[in-house]
Amino acid sequence: MNNHQELSYELYVFKVLTVFREPLFRKIIGKIAIPPGSKGLDAGCGPGFITRILAEQTGKEGHVTGLDISRDFLDYANKMHKQENLDFVYGDVNNLPFDDGVFDWVWSVDTVWPGPKEMGCPAENPSGIIHEYHRVLKPGGKIFILYWTSQKLLPGYPILEARLNTTSSATAPFAEHLAPENHVMNARKWLQDAGFKDTCSRTFLHDINAPLSENDRESLFILFDMLWSSAEKELDIKDYQKYKSLCDPLSPDNVLNNTEYSGFYTYTMFKGLNR
């Protein structure tokens, strides 16, 4: 696969998963009550799909900057999301290209995953990134860091799903050599250590129920592959074969053919105030 094909597939995955997650993201964005006229940063914006939703909330008097390290994603974002209260810039979350105290809020979804750089992670220790987020916020500014944190996607097969979720691909990028405090569920402590006050976390759940749209089905097959496709070496052969029969879109036994299919996934948001 050449670079163009890889990018096209990656963008396709972003689009499909954004449609899948958009109702939950809109719910979360509604809960955080972004002030109209405010100036915000979407750190790790990718192709800008969620950045556009954030810009809707600020209104014409506000402004949102999307930042990403992928120039290809930024090219796409600049072409597809043209509006006056929105722009996209190249940058690394480890060293943000902004002056101190310029944003009213920072939003960062699935970006500050501590882990090996060879897995695409920005750093093994999140401290420097969180301090950068703190630096660019105005006094009174707010930070919102969000992560996909759990899921139940194989109704009727809890033991198999539990085994799948213990494999390296399901827990990546976190690995055994990483410090426990650098696991994403400890992000509230990261915020406190960087100087944020009034820190808290909240987990949001989104239900998945049949009948499934074509986009829902495609999203779930993508997620099955992302989470568990590399699990073969860590599973009993019978478990892996069962996984394939349930999660392969070409299998007549795939779990999404269940007319009563139900599942869910969650995002956890960590927030704090720059005082």
The identity of residue 189, as a single letter, is: K
Report the relative pairing of strands 39-43 and 63-68 from DSSP bridges: parallel
Measure the CA angle with vertex 74, ends 73 and 75; round to 5°: 90
CATH architecture assignment, domain 3-151+175-209+263-274: 3-Layer(aba) Sandwich (3.40)
Burial of 197-220, coded b for 16+ CB within 10 Å and e otherwise, reads: eebeeeebebebeeebeeebbbbb
Q: Where are the alpha helices (DSSP H) in 81-213?
A: 127-136, 158-164, 168-171, 187-193
What pLDDT sits at residue 3? 47
The per-residue pLDDT for range 241-273, each reduced to its tens digit, is 999 999 999 999 999 999 999 999 999 999 999
Hunting for tokens 């992560």 — which residue is that?
Answer: 147
Q: Tell me the CA distances in angstroms from 196 to 106, 225, 246, one per residue in order.
A: 12, 37, 44
Minimal CA–CA distance to 265: which of 52, 16, 15, 23? 23
- Give the distance, in angstroms, between the CA of residue 146 and the centroid of all CA atoms in the same chain: 7
The per-residue pLDDT for range 1-22, each reduced to its tens digit, is 444 456 688 899 999 999 999 9
pTM: 0.94
The per-residue pLDDT for range 176-223, each reduced to its tens digit, is 888 999 999 999 999 999 999 999 999 999 999 999 999 999 999 999
Torsion of the alpha carbons at 179, 267, 235 and 121, rounded to the nearest 10: -50
Check if the beta carbon of residue 112 is closer than 8 Å to that of residue 145. Answer: yes
Distance CA 224, CA 251 (A): 13
Check if the beta carbon of residue 124 is closer than 8 Å to that of residue 182. Answer: yes
> CA-based diameter of the chain, in Å?
58
Report the relative pairing of strands 63-68 and 137-152 from DSSP bridges: unpaired
